[in-house]
Structure 1
Amino acid sequence: MNKQVLVQGNFDILHPGHIRLLRFAKECGDKLIVAVNSDKSMGLKSRVNEQHRLEMVQSLECVNEAFLSDLTPAETVKSLKPHIVVKGKEFESRHNPEHALVEMYGGKLIFGSGEFESNSEQYITRTISHGHNFDYKKCQSYATRHQFDYQSINTVFSQFSENRVAVIGEIIVDEYIQGTAVGLSQEDPTIVMTPDRTDTFLGGAAITAGHIKGLGANQVTLFSVLGKDDKADYVKNHINAYNIDTILFDDGSRPTPLKSRYRAGNKTLLRVNQVRQHKISKEIQTDLYLQLESSINNFDLLVFSDFNYGLLPQTLVDKVIALCKENNVRVVADSQTSSQVGDIARYKDMMLITPTEKEVRVALNNIDDGLPILAQKLCEKANPMSLVITLAGEGIFIHLPDQNGQWENDMLPAINRNAVDPAGAGDCFLAASSLALCSGATPWQAFYIASIAAACQVDTLGNQPLSFNTLQQRVLESFKNI
């Protein structure tokens, strides 16, 4: 049963005290309902009209529902019968007519005060406006060099919906614990923070699949393995929002990967990974392969989204690649080396691989060579059709080899120079570029599209599937600005 919490007030000028009280109220139950007193019901004329006061309250993330009310607080309680009514601490010593009504049906009246440490602005929901910090200055020369315009890109977009995609890899639950840094510990030089709220997202292979579906692919199926824990339940309860099909296996020997980021302001102070990296059992490998084999004719593209937590042992990878070759399914791969160690070179004969510079150097055990030589050596080892080395805030380095030992290189700088959250940029780049390649784009067009997609991704906190409309608008904007 969902506990409904009611707060009623004027909200004349929405200030931090209001926001802290409403956040406290939301924590008291499951659904926060706010009754905003209408102009005519207020004793004093408000400086802000009722519609604007309502919209400000509705903009808060903690508020589930808000409406204008002509009723007194007691009449509102009698009408809605909420489980909990929350009022400010200043009302505790006053007469509260709704108190008896609440107790009559078994509800509670709670008095709460705000916590001064909270950063109130972070609780305001803002309309996502991708592109505000985008810099398209280098896009014109790139598009001119490779002889494409918006019309040709739009032709690629029109084919997105023709693709059927399989994604295989680890699902990661991403937690963002947002708080306020209150100072340094007196015992040791440790930052002390007070957590204010936690946002949870589906990451890893799940967000790669979510991006591909959000960008318009006809069908997306995600193959993965989960632990037997509450995070697995979270995944199963929320993955349907991505509108993808799932084939999920349970493995009680490992937890569902969880990454918790502790943030203050716009900075991450600490990331805690709860993962295990041992290989999935041979039985699960066999079951996963058989499921993929039985449906391989339903796919045009397979994406390896490998975070190197044991879901993709080499024997399984080799069998899947061979299966795709036999059935003319194109394959792309990304293999992370971050806190864990991966090897992008083990993914042979891909249509595209998208490692970071660190991942290339680890795969080759090479800290000396420059990017062009480094890229060619990886191509000689792994034989991809296209290689993109992602360089975080510096953009991307593109390397296209041919069969004669020659190659072409180019580079696109980072389009978003003020990233809100750089996590997930690579997943979004891989999703957009592979979908574009399968839709008839040249590599140059695909990586242009994907660079803008990644710029959109890092413009918001946490992983959320990128929509086709957002990407199309930003690409169109890029041509208008150049």
Structure 2
Amino acid sequence: MLSSLMQKYRHKIKTVDELIQIIGLRPRKKKVILCHGVFDVVHPGHLRHLIYAKSKAKILVTSLTADVHISKGHHRPHVPQNLRALNLAAFEIVDYVVIDTEATPLKNLASLQPDFFAKGYEYTSNGVPAKTQDEADILRSYGGEIIFTPGDIVYSSSKLIELAPPAIKPEKLLTVMDSEEITFDTLRDALEKLRGKRVHVVGDTIVDSYTQTTMIGGQTKTPTMSVLYEGRKDYIGGAAIVAEHLRAAGAEVVFSTVLGDDALRDFVLNGLAKSGVDCRPVIDATRPTTNKNAFIAGGYRLLKLDTLDNRSISDEIVAKLCGAIAEMPADAVVFSDFRHGVFNRRTIPKLISAIPQGAYKVADSQVASRWGNITDFKKFDLITPNEREARFALGDQDTGIRPLASALYDAAQCKTLILKLGERGVLTCRGGDHRSLDSFIVIDSFVEQAVDAVGAGDALLAYATLSKLATGSDAVATILGSMAAACECEHDGNIPITPDDVRRKIDVAERQVNYN
């Protein structure tokens, strides 16, 4: 139902060239007025502005700033450009909508030559700003006119969003699916195509442990907590859980890693064998199998105790891994980097050079706190860092998400970048022209009730990789990867995500879109 309503208004959204053909050149029989803005959240102030503008001309055109040029806050715009355009198109008073790919409306003003350009009264309350003067000069050059709409109340989209961000997850999802010509059945069909893909995973194995305790007291003389041991649960993690996710999705998986000569080695090998992963470890008796043990009391993490050795693997081990990579036929090679010895600036070039010709190259580098950098993996087909890792890689704590993703995309020289934004979802950047209207895909998180976010990125990596192999679609990869990540968040500890888990997410999303 929601999809059909969106299609009802999509015909109003035009390119500049299409609009020129429709409205014609000056002088026109029907006067044209143009309104321009971000329109992140359309509020009563916007509506009054549009109504007044419509009263001055027969044809009302609204142009909105493209996502890539919006810099108000790290995560703005809240509403992606395609959905903002539909919001405006749904108004009866609006005749046409244009998404402006330029940073300012100057080029569109010169091309469209509207008879009037409507601005809010606030642009004259303290004198005419320089940017408004530039607009006025263009209008004056061909005989157009600026009209300032009256009013005494200014509604701020930014303040409204900060007060209570609108819940528009279904609408954002459906907008992406419509623009990419994807249905929920498309997603279900894609899951069926994941089976049988050959994937070689290379990376650091981690055993994630959860030690459950109960608080029983503390020392009076020192700040020492006293807890009662209740039990410990170990989970396969790191690059190993990526291999398990891939196998659970139906792929044929070979896993190359480095393990210590200890009991956790046997735990990992036994677990991977049960999962159906063909693990081919290099045993290094000089280092332990990496273990991260979180001590928990009453649902709170008191302490994390790590047993690890982050020094680089030896040249001999590098040679063994390179040989395994080169000799293993694979549709995709996934480098899962946690910076625990396998990957560093000495080893990465050698490992990359061993990847077979034609294999789909994927890298995930969860290393922002350990001096790794996702841009070490240049010219890969897919990379999946989180926001913190992106900012670390670029030394940039200030830039908004879209320009940040664009800069990282260019620095890494990748083909597809899926930027993980935690509870905010993901943003996918594709194509070198970041001003293109389809350069970004924004998907909100599908998590219904978060339990443990550890490992969510690994599930996304696995399902996004297989989806790209199976369909070639960035949108399908983003959606299915995000759904797999949400499934992982709703479990305690690392649990391999199955296609049935993801299907349930698809069913939930479809019901939400149809208001069921």
- Distance between the aligned counterparts of 1:170 and 1:364, measured in 2? 24
Assess, with a 3 A threshold, how the Cα gap between structure 1 residues 341 and 181 changes in structure 2: closer, same or farther: farther
- Distance between the aligned counterparts of 2:299 and 2:425, measured in 1? 21
Partner amino acid, structure 1, of 2:467: A
494, 505, 508: which one pairs with 1:463? 494
- Distance between the aligned counterparts of 2:423 and 2:220, measured in 1? 36
337, 357, 360: which one pairs with 1:306? 337
- Distance between the aligned counterparts of 2:203 and 2:256, measured in 1? 7
432, 435, 447: which one pairs with 1:402? 432
- Cross-structure match for 1:318: 349
Deviations 1:372-404 (A, max 9, x none): 221111112111111122121221122223268
Determine if the alignment matches structure 1 residue 289 to structure 2 residue 318: no
Structure 1 residues 468-479: aligned runs within 5 Å? 468-479=499-510
Q: How far apart are 1:190 and its partner, in Å? A: 4.4
- Cross-structure match for 1:243: 276
- Relative to the length of structure 1, the TM-score reads 0.68
335, 343, 353: which one pairs with 2:373? 343
Structure 1 residues 217-256: aligned runs within 5 Å? 217=251, 219-256=252-289
- Cross-structure match for 1:11: none
- Distance between the aligned counterparts of 1:417 and 1:337, measured in 2? 27
- Distance between the aligned counterparts of 1:137 and 1:452, measured in 2? 16
Which segment drifts farther, 284-293 or 426-435? 284-293
- Cross-structure match for 1:158: 192
- Cross-structure match for 2:233: 199
373, 379, 382: which one pairs with 2:403? 373
Which segment drifts farther, 368-377 or 347-356? 368-377
- Cross-structure match for 1:437: 468
Determine if the alignment matches structure 1 residue 452 to structure 2 residue 483: yes
- Cross-structure match for 2:96: none
- Contact 1:227/1:250 (CA < 8 Å) preserved in 2? yes
Structure 1 residues 97-112: aligned runs within 5 Å? none
- Cross-structure match for 1:423: 454
Determine if the alignment matches structure 1 residue 386 to structure 2 residue 416: yes
Deviations 1:120-173 (A, max 9, x none): xxxxxxxxxxxxxxx856533332343311221223222111310000001111
Determine if the alignment matches structure 1 residue 266 to structure 2 residue 299: yes
Partner amino acid, structure 1, of 2:313: I
Determine if the alignment matches structure 1 residue 327 to structure 2 residue 357: yes
- Contact 2:269/2:279 (CA < 8 Å) preserved in 1? no
Q: How far apart are 1:184 and its partner, in Å? A: 4.5
Assess, with a 3 A threshold, how the Cα gap between structure 1 residues 313 and 441 changes in structure 2: closer, same or farther: same
- Distance between the aligned counterparts of 2:391 and 2:434, measured in 1? 24
Secondary structure of 1:213 counterpart: helix
Provide the aligned length of Structure 1 versus Structure 2. Answer: 344
Deviations 1:86-130 (A, max 9, x none): xxxxxxxxxxxxxxxxxxxxxxxxxxxxxxxxxxxxxxxxxxxxx
Which segment drifts farther, 337-346 or 250-259? 337-346
Unpaired runs of 5+ residues, structure 1, are: 1-134
- Distance between the aligned counterparts of 1:247 and 1:220, measured in 2? 11
- Distance between the aligned counterparts of 2:511 and 2:325, measured in 1? 43
- Contact 2:368/2:392 (CA < 8 Å) preserved in 1? no
Assess, with a 3 A threshold, how the Cα gap between structure 1 residues 185 and 390 changes in structure 2: closer, same or farther: farther
Assess, with a 3 A threshold, how the Cα gap between structure 1 residues 418 and 261 changes in structure 2: closer, same or farther: same
Assess, with a 3 A threshold, how the Cα gap between structure 1 residues 404 and 469 changes in structure 2: closer, same or farther: closer
Secondary structure of 1:270 counterpart: strand
Partner amino acid, structure 2, of 1:461: D
Secondary structure of 1:305 counterpart: strand
Q: How far apart are 1:269 and its partner, in Å? A: 2.2
Which segment drifts farther, 271-280 or 147-156? 147-156
Q: How far apart are 1:425 and its partner, in Å? A: 0.6
- Distance between the aligned counterparts of 2:399 and 2:379, measured in 1? 23
Partner amino acid, structure 2, of 1:402: G
Secondary structure of 1:224 counterpart: strand
Which segment drifts farther, 208-217 or 329-338? 329-338
Q: How far apart are 1:456 and its partner, in Å? A: 0.5
- Distance between the aligned counterparts of 2:389 and 2:317, measured in 1? 28
Secondary structure of 1:144 counterpart: helix
Secondary structure of 2:372 counterpart: coil
Structure 1 residues 92-131: aligned runs within 5 Å? none
Secondary structure of 1:152 counterpart: helix
Structure 1 residues 81-96: aligned runs within 5 Å? none
Deviations 1:218-271 (A, max 9, x none): x10000001112221222232211101011001122111000011123332221
Secondary structure of 1:221 counterpart: strand
Secondary structure of 2:440 counterpart: strand
- Relative to the length of structure 2, the TM-score reads 0.63
170, 178, 184: which one pairs with 1:144? 178
- Contact 2:416/2:429 (CA < 8 Å) preserved in 1? yes
Partner amino acid, structure 2, of 1:193: V
Which segment drifts farther, 180-189 or 190-199? 180-189
Assess, with a 3 A threshold, how the Cα gap between structure 1 residues 138 and 317 changes in structure 2: closer, same or farther: same
Determine if the alignment matches structure 1 residue 414 to structure 2 residue 448: no
Partner amino acid, structure 2, of 1:408: S
Q: How far apart are 1:183 and its partner, in Å? A: 4.3
Secondary structure of 1:314 counterpart: coil
Identity %: 29
- Distance between the aligned counterparts of 2:460 and 2:261, measured in 1? 31
- Contact 2:406/2:434 (CA < 8 Å) preserved in 1? no
Q: How far apart are 1:417 and its partner, in Å? A: 4.7
Partner amino acid, structure 1, of 2:460: F
- Distance between the aligned counterparts of 1:308 and 1:171, measured in 2? 10
- Contact 1:289/1:316 (CA < 8 Å) preserved in 2? no
Secondary structure of 1:194 counterpart: strand
Unpaired runs of 5+ residues, structure 2, are: 1-168
- Contact 1:153/1:441 (CA < 8 Å) preserved in 2? no
- Distance between the aligned counterparts of 1:367 and 1:339, measured in 2? 15
- Distance between the aligned counterparts of 2:434 and 2:209, measured in 1? 47
Structure 1 residues 347-366: aligned runs within 5 Å? 347-366=377-396
